[in-house]
Amino acid sequence: MFKLSELVRWLGLTEFEILINLCGLLVFTITLSFKIAGTFNNILPELMSDWFTIFSPLFFIDICNAYFCVIVGIRMYLDSDNKRKALHRFMWSTYFLVLIAIFKYLLCLKLSGRTGLEYSEVFSPIFVLLQLVAVRACQLPNSI
């Protein structure tokens, strides 16, 4: 298993961002399980029939993380002497958030039946993100 410090270094996310993602993932998992079990069909059939409603906690955490990254990026840029490091962190966070948001959007479209994309096309942002994480992990110094 990975340590939290390794995940923070490899993913380029702070502990707070990881916590926000885990909380949103918990809410998403609960709503997804209710949708699959058919519980929402009796309570709110018109509201919970759309996949975008089920994925809304994940889109909400993307918005929260983007807001947090903009604030951190501005503060790092203004407070630090190393402007390049601040810009690099901001660009990495932007790449990460954009690729994850595109994946979630394409997955919602695929599950709703609104597009004819294949699953390999839907998962292509994740493949790009995994390649970026692998390059980032290879560039970081080994602390073991």
* Sequence spans of domains, the chain: 4-139
pTM for this entry: 0.83
What is the amino acid identity at position 130?
A: L
Q: Residue 110 and residue 120: Cα distance in Å, rounded?
A: 11
What the block records as the tokens of 78 is 């203004």
Stronger pLDDT, 41 or 3, i.e. the higher one: 3
Q: Are the beta carbons of 73 and 97 closer than 8 angstroms?
A: no
Q: How confident is the model at residue 88 (pLDDT cuts 50, 70, 90)?
A: confident
65-84 mean pLDDT: 87
DSSP-derived letter for residue 141 is P
Instruction: Round to whole Å and give the CA distance between 63 and 58.
Output: 9
Share of the chain above pLDDT 70, in %: 92
